[in-house]
Amino acid sequence: MSIPTQMSLVGFIASAPELHFTRAGAEYCRMRVGIEQWRKEVDGSFTKLDPTFHDMVTFESTARETYARFRKGDSFVASGYVHEFEIDGRQGSVIKDEFVARKIGHNVNKTDYVVQRGRHAADRSLTAVPQPPAVGL
């Protein structure tokens, strides 16, 4: 059996997330994201290039959590898919794309944070505190 996978995107929030509502009342959150770019040199070193910028959107509960928890500059890891669509512009129709994040979290390699367990872990005991090993007397 193969492991089910999704496309992922790693980057930083480039604009403040904006929460919007559809006509039916469903939430969605839009933002611009930046993706760092690197070029591998002949000698094996890497040169940092200018980031690329893209649109990202989340829906429903992910939209609420993204809007509540993310700020401009935060590093993230998201899984989802690329949505291509056509819009009519002044010079005719244009194909655009956006990353639709089904799941999103802060990038643990670039973010300091504290985990507060218990909200979704009702069956886990939160009273046990690890103790250091006893030292010989």
Taking only the tens place, the pLDDT of each residue in 56-112 is 999 999 999 999 999 999 999 999 999 999 998 888 898 899 999 999 999 999 998
pLDDT surpassing 90 at residue 3: yes
* 131: three-class secondary structure by DSSP: coil
Per-residue pLDDT, 133: 56
Confidence of residue 117 (pLDDT cuts 50, 70, 90): confident
Residue pair 104/33 in contact by the 8 Å Cβ criterion: no
Give me the phi and psi of 65, to 5 degrees please. -70, -40
Does residue 71 or residue 117 have the better pLDDT? 71
Which pTM does this prediction carry?
0.78
The partner residues of 93 in beta bridges, in order of sequence, read: 88
For the stretch 15-66, pLDDT in tens is 999 999 999 999 999 999 999 999 999 999 999 999 999 999 999 999 999 9
Ranges of H-type helices in the chain: 60-69
Per-residue pLDDT, 1: 86
The partner residues of 34 in beta bridges, in order of sequence, read: 12, 53
**CA distance to 13, 21, 36, 45, per residue, from 56 (Å):** 9, 16, 15, 31
Per-residue pLDDT, 126: 47
Provide the residue ranges of all domains of the chain, joining segments of one domain with +. Answer: 7-106
pLDDT surpassing 90 at residue 132: no
Domain 7-106: give its CATH superfamily: Nucleic acid-binding proteins (2.40.50.140)
